[in-house]
Chain A
Amino acid sequence: MIRSLVYSLTFHTVMIILTVLSLPFMLREPIDLPPIVSVELIQISDKTNIPYAPKARKIIEETKKKEERIVSEQAPPAAKAKEKPDRIPLPNELKEEKKIVKKKQNPEEIKPQIRQSSEFEKKEIVDTSQIAALIDKAKEVEAVKKKESDKITQSSKKNSFATGLTLSEEDALRAQIFGCWSVPLGLPYDQDLLVRIKLNLKKDGTIMKSEILDHERMNRPGQKFYKVLAESALRAVRLCQPLKVPPTGYDKWKNIQLNFNPTEMLKG
């Protein structure tokens, strides 16, 4: 008897509390979500490719101050955004976000140029006008090559008359690079994925000079993946060195071109 009374009492209080609590349809109070991070993008890389000194913090401070100037030099900023680095009150968040976007665009636009110079400035730059003229034709040649390869095993034909490597020598080299090449995942299957790298080799198979032949494509809009792909190919070559080259015939193979193309593998 007492038990059921207790039950009934607790039940009713719970119900009353629930009703009182749940009368408002929704949680009315603002939900405490972490605010948008105000992002200060600082291109440290373009300032400090040199070994980084312990006074790094100072440099960063300087970089930060210079940032706006750099931006305006490279690409006139659409908006002179002056943001407070602090968290800002919620209602302003949207505006703040927009500012960030605008500001961000500039460093991003610059990035390719910077990257290019930092990675390739020391390398001999190919005659780009010539290359550009050849790019379209290269595709056609590719197509022809593909047709050929249907009949004859991939690339061995080219080898037989054009080069100074024997089949087994070429296979050894190819197998070595297969092992070193981490193909980036997430490449678009329907795009041209050919990366041509020209190497100047030392006698021991280490690399004197490496050069991406179509490297201007790396900075073209919508071709970000190509840059990633080209970098992965470069990484493979560097990881692999010294390359497995024949002991003789240095003059024949001191210049060598590697054609990286993962299309077949990705589709297969």
Chain B
Amino acid sequence: MKKILSIISFIFLISSDSLALIEVDITRGNLDPLPIAVSPLHVDIKSEDFKGLKIKDLGMNISEIIEKNFRSTGLFNPLKKEAFVQKPDIAHLKPRFEDWRLIKAQALVTGKLLIKDEKLKVEFRLWDLTAAQEMTALAFTTTPSNWRRVAHIISDKIYERLTGEDGYFDTRIIYVAESGPKNERVKKLAIMDQDGFNTKYLTLGNELVLTPRFNPTNQMVTYMSYFRNMPRVYLLDIETGTQEVVGNFPGMTFAPRFSPDGKKIIMSFAKDGNSDIFTMDLETRVVERITEHSSIDTSPSFSPDGKFIAFNSDRSGLQQIYVMRSDGSNVKRITFGKGIYGTPVWSPRGDLIAFTKMHKGRFYIGVMRTDGKGERLLTENYYQEAPSWSPNGRVLVFYRETKAGEKGEGFSAKLWSIDITGYNERKLSTKTDASDPSWSSLLSK
């Protein structure tokens, strides 16, 4: 009754406010990527030389990185520069909006840069061309060798302004670089910028290394190594290169991940053929048992609030995904679909769990809600697994292997990414074959 009254009063208000106001519902639009023009950044003529940098090209290079980032999202359509109508410096002062609208751009990025006293100064503006307004503008100062990161940070700021979500360009991906024949693979830890540049190797390849994962501040990595033929979980400080075994377990430890506060490592420990989940506090070194079951419990992943843990277990006979409280209580199976499920990873937003599914000889990467409902399979292939979330929870990176022939020929392992919408599947560029990716959080946050 109350409802009806309020609705009636609402209608009354509307009609008294504006008599017979015409209302038209717009329920459709186009889902084409937003056309955006990224003008080359103007290079200030007063710029001084800096070793190893082609300053003249820097403005163009930064704009091209931004364009590449945008194109990779599938949400933007960076327009061809040949059609650009204004010089970078003039456009940056005040664009002739009509002219830019002519080439069908809806947004415009302009900027300029100056290198002076060994410092790179970059500023950029984002313009809404239809409203003829500036949407955002920022300036940065940094060391010139950081120019690629500047391009990524600018991309993040624009992405954030145009989509309402955080960006994910100023990030790195740690992964396992692979080389050699399939039955004698050499594996090294490698780290690269999200766009495939600045690859650095963190181990030499003398021993097998697997499943590296970042901590929340991106300074530390936990991974598994077969150093001295003892498969154990290790901790590596990226800046100093120091590494150490995590815990003194009398057997194999594997499948490590950090807790969301970075203080603990959660992992599996295998003893007498049985794998259970444990945590170790990095400061106090206190080890805590989380699961105790005669089945295989592995691939644990914390929820972002640290209150829950998702993992996979074959306690029902085949591998399925379970969720429990972080103390190990209240274990609930959440996957009941056909096929077997593994590698659950909680999204940074906390609302979804990404997973690998195997069914009838095919492998899928998918997402589901944390209660297991609303399963959406994003991609299907011969073999793929190990999804890792972009920091804004919009994109998953995973690795995919191809079929091998008689002698292992035709085999490859590559990193791929896909939006959680299931669109925009892309192969990441890596210098070598690659597997086990882990996406960092935003470096500049």
Proximity bits, A87-124, B CB within 8 Å = 1, else 0: 10011011001001100000000010000001100000
Which residues from B are CB-within-8-Å of A181?
26, 28-30
Q: Are B153 and A37 in contact (CB under 8 A)?
A: yes
Contact in complex: B241, A30 (CB < 8 Å): yes
A180: which B residues are within 8 A, CB to CB?
29
Tell me whether B86 is interfacial, beta carbon within 8 Å: no
Let me know if A265 is at the binding interface, CB within 8 A: yes
Q: Which of B26, B137, B140 contacts A40 (CB 8 A)?
A: B140
A to B contact number (C-beta, < 8 Å): 255
Q: Chain B residues near A235: list those with CB within 8 A.
A: 106, 128, 130-131
Q: Can you list, as one digit per residue, whether each of B85-116 has a CB less than 8 Å from chain A (1) or not (0)? A: 00000001110000000000010000000100
Q: Is the CB of A44 within 8 A of B123?
A: yes
Among residues of B, the one whose C-beta sits closest to the C-beta of A223 is B164
Q: Are A35 and B143 interface neighbours, CB within 8 A? A: yes
In this assembly, does A206 line the interface, its C-beta being within 8 Å of a C-beta of chain B?
no
**B residues in contact with A226, CB < 8 Å:** 164
Q: Mark A31-53, 1 if CB is under 8 A from B, else 0.
A: 11111111111111100110111
Tell whether, in the assembled complex, residue B30 and residue A179 are in contact, meaning their CB atoms are under 8 Å apart.
Answer: yes
Q: Which of B22, B143, B219 contacts A255 (CB 8 A)?
A: B22
User: Is A9 an interface residue when CB atoms closer than 8 A count as contact?
Assistant: no
Q: How far is the CA of A144 from the CA of B164 in the complex (A)?
A: 29
Question: Complex: how many Å from CA A139 to CA B7?
Answer: 10
Question: Whose C-beta in chain A lies nearest to the C-beta of B394?
Answer: A186
A2 within 8 A of B: no
Residue of A whose beta carbon sits closest to that of B118: A86
- In angstroms, Cα B156 to Cα A150, docked, is 41
B243:A26 contact, CB within 8 angstroms: yes
Q: B residues within 8 A CB of A97?
A: 217, 444
Across the two chains, which residue of chain A brings its CB closest to B15? A162
User: Interface code A215-234, partner B: CB below 8 Å = 1, 0 otherwise?
Assistant: 00000000011111101111
Q: Is the CB–CB distance between A25 and B206 below 8 Å?
A: yes
Q: Determine if A54 and B119 form an interchain contact, defined as CB atoms under 8 angstroms apart.
A: no
When chains A and B are docked, how far (Å) is the Cα of A36 from the Cα of B440?
14
CA distance A26 to B240 in the complex (A): 11
> How many Å lie between the Cα of A182 and that of B138 in the bound state?
26
**A164 touching B22, Cβ below 8 Å:** yes
A70 in the interface (beta carbon within 8 A): no
Identify the A interface with B (CB < 8 A). 21-22, 25-45, 48-49, 51-54, 56-57, 60, 64, 85-87, 90-91, 93-94, 97, 100-101, 111, 118-119, 130, 134, 137-138, 140-141, 144, 154-155, 158, 162-165, 170, 173-174, 177-186, 198, 224-229, 231-236, 238-239, 252-253, 255-265
5 smallest beta-carbon distances between A and B, as pairs? A181-B29, A224-B164, A44-B137, A228-B164, A85-B141
